[in-house]
């Protein structure tokens, strides 16, 4: 087999041909083993980007990537308290998307065991690991033994991916990032799913976002990705569902690393913003349904509410904070008080109905210190924004829209300038998108 022939077959001569599993395996294995250089893998990825892949090719690519590294198996460990089924949630990323943090303890209260492996912020979107690390002492790099023990004890644990999980994705993702080949449905499907399957979940709930702050800008594109994720996961023997959810405007009132931990705490204390609660409950109840812990979504929603109202979900979250090296007492003491000293207030510049663009807010938050411009950048725990008004609300000129916090004076200036461009004022009322547009099963 020759890499050049496989690239030509996918590129088309004259028309592209579907690849066999052996050909896909040759490319993936060769790239990990370094017998296929970056330039050939780049051409291969670009050919996929332009010509797509059939469902069978996507499943083959996912399987080849999955087997490039370690695969965690949580089964057969009932003696440790790992009973399963193991269910995880994956969001395709957004601004203010802290859902995993309140969701895991709530779903764990419903009896689901959750091996949650999360990532860092990517582009304008935030990352669960960066948020968790804003809790002083919280350790996100658990050993496999610690990970298993904590899931058995408390129903869930939160960790990052190790170097050994899907090395093919680590290498291919870095290359895609710099060759304009990220936004491809088969490549995104194989990237996300190979990692999720390697992490040992039996079932997966996907939150596929659409809108300015999402990678998929339209509902149609998000639906294509959701269908590809669900069908490919099912072909790999996993139960899966996806929700298509709105990311035109930031989720919740707080965006930032520590600020999103604080908002998660509020959710678990029964004071969470309506959109964050609705989405958290919708996803957690589907996790419980896939795990066979409830008979219907309605039952799941009811049990989610009870888990929060009884304080059990909060207790589970605080136990997880202590178990993973944080200090839950200190976290509670800091609530509402821990703020960066580099602060400004953004006021409405004119009367109107407020629009807050998620993508532009995410970019502005990078300026403040929340995210990274390059992978080597460090994120700041305490920068971010707290909204006083949300999209669709009527505001008067001079009224406060948000508090802005930055890592230093210069970042504050740049961030505020960028945030001014993220907000606009409509003379007419704004039709709000539905938070949950559709379910794909």
Kindly list the residues in this chain that would bind ligand URA in the complex (CB under 6 A).
173, 182, 187-188, 191-192
Q: Is 117 or 253 the residue whose CB approaches ligand URA more closely?
A: 117
Of 176, 196, 254, 338, catalytic: 176
CB of 187 to ligand URA, least distance (A): 6
CB atoms within 10 A of CB 323: 18
Of 90, 98, 124, 254, catalytic: 90
Q: Rounded distance, CA 268 to CA 311, Å?
A: 7
Helix or strand or coil: residue 423?
A: strand
Residue nearest to ligand URA (CB): 191
DSSP codes of every residue in 184-244: -HHHHHHHHHHHHHHTT-SEEEEEEEESTTSSB-SHHHHHHHHHHHHHHHHHTT-EEEEEE
Q: Is 159 or 191 the residue whose CB approaches ligand URA more closely?
A: 191
Residue 231 · residue 192 · CB < 8 Å: no
User: Which residue is it, tokens 């924004």?
Assistant: 385
Of 89, 195, 254, 360, catalytic: 195
Q: Is 176 or 293 the residue whose CB approaches ligand URA more closely?
A: 176
| 372, burial (CB in 10 Å: exposed 0-12, middle 13-18, buried 19+) | middle
Q: Is 214 or 261 the residue whose CB approaches ligand URA more closely?
A: 214
CB of 197 to ligand URA, least distance (A): 13
Q: Are strands 239-246 and 203-210 parallel, antiparallel or unpaired?
A: parallel
Q: Is 26 or 49 the residue whose CB approaches ligand URA more closely?
A: 49
Q: Is residue 195 annotated as part of the catalytic site, yes or no?
A: yes
* β-strand partners of 398: none
Q: Is residue 176 annotated as part of the catalytic site, yes or no?
A: yes
Q: Is 62 or 264 the residue whose CB approaches ligand URA more closely?
A: 62
CB of 271 to ligand URA, least distance (A): 31
DSSP codes of every residue in 316-349: HHHHHHHHTT--HHHHHHHTTT---SEEEEEE-S
Q: Is residue 169 annotated as part of the catalytic site, yes or no?
A: yes
Of 63, 88, 169, 207, catalytic: 169
CB atoms within 10 A of CB 358: 27
Taking every pair of Cα atoms in the chain, the longest distance, rounded to a whole number of angstroms, is 68
CB of 228 to ligand URA, least distance (A): 12
Q: Is residue 191 annotated as part of the catalytic site, yes or no?
A: yes
Enumerate the active-site residues: 90, 169, 176, 191, 195
């Amino acid at each position: 087999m020759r890499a050049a022939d496989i690239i030509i077959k996918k590129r088309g001569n004259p028309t592209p041909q579907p690849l066999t599993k052996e050909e896909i395996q040759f490319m993936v294995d060769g790239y990990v083993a370094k017998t296929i250089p970056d330039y050939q893998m780049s051409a291969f990825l670009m050919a996929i980007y332009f010509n797509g892949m059939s469902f069978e090719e996507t499943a083959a690519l996912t399987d080849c990537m999955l087997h490039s590294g370690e695969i965690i198996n949580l089964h057969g460990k009932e003696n440790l308290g790992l009973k399963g089924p193991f269910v995880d949630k994956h969001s395709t990323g957004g601004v203010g998307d802290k859902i995993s943090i309140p969701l895991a303890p709530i779903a764990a209260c419903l009896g689901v065991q959750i091996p949650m492996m999360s990532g860092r912020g990517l582009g304008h979107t935030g990352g669960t690991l960066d948020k968790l690390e804003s809790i002083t002492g919280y350790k996100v790099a658990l050993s496999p033994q610690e990970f298993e023990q904590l899931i058995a004890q408390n129903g869930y644990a939160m960790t990052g991916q190790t170097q050994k999980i899907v090395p093919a994705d680590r290498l291919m993702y870095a290359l895609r990032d710099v060759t304009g080949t990220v936004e491809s449905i088969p490549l995104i499907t194989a990237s996300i799913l190979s990692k999720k399957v390697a992490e040992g979940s039996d079932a997966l709930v996907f939150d596929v976002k659409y809108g300015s702050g999402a990678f998929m800008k339209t509902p149609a594109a998000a639906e294509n990705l959701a269908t590809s994720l669900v069908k490919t996961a099912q072909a790999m023997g996993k139960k899966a569902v996806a929700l298509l959810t709105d990311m035109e405007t930031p989720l919740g009132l707080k965006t930032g690393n520590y600020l999103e931990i604080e908002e998660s705490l509020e959710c678990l204390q029964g004071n969470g913003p309506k959109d964050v609660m609705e989405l958290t409950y919708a996803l957690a109840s589907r996790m419980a349904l896939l795990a066979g812990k409830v008979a219907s979504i309605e039952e799941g929603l009811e049990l989610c509410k009870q888990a929060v109202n009884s304080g059990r979900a909060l207790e589970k979250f605080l136990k997880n904070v202590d178990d993973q090296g944080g200090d839950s007492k200190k976290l509670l003491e800091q609530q509402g008080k821990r703020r960066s000293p580099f602060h400004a207030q953004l006021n409405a510049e004119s009367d109107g109905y407020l629009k807050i663009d998620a993508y532009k807010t995410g970019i502005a938050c990078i300026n403040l210190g929340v995210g990274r411009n390059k992978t080597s950048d460090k994120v700041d725990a305490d920068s971010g924004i707290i909204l006083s008004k949300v999209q669709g609300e009527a505001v008067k000129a001079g009224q406060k829209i948000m508090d802005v916090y930055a890592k230093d004076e210069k970042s504050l200036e740049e961030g505020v300038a960028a945030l001014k461009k993220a907000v606009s004022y409509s003379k007419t009322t704004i039709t709000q998108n539905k938070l949950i547009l559709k379910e794909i099963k």
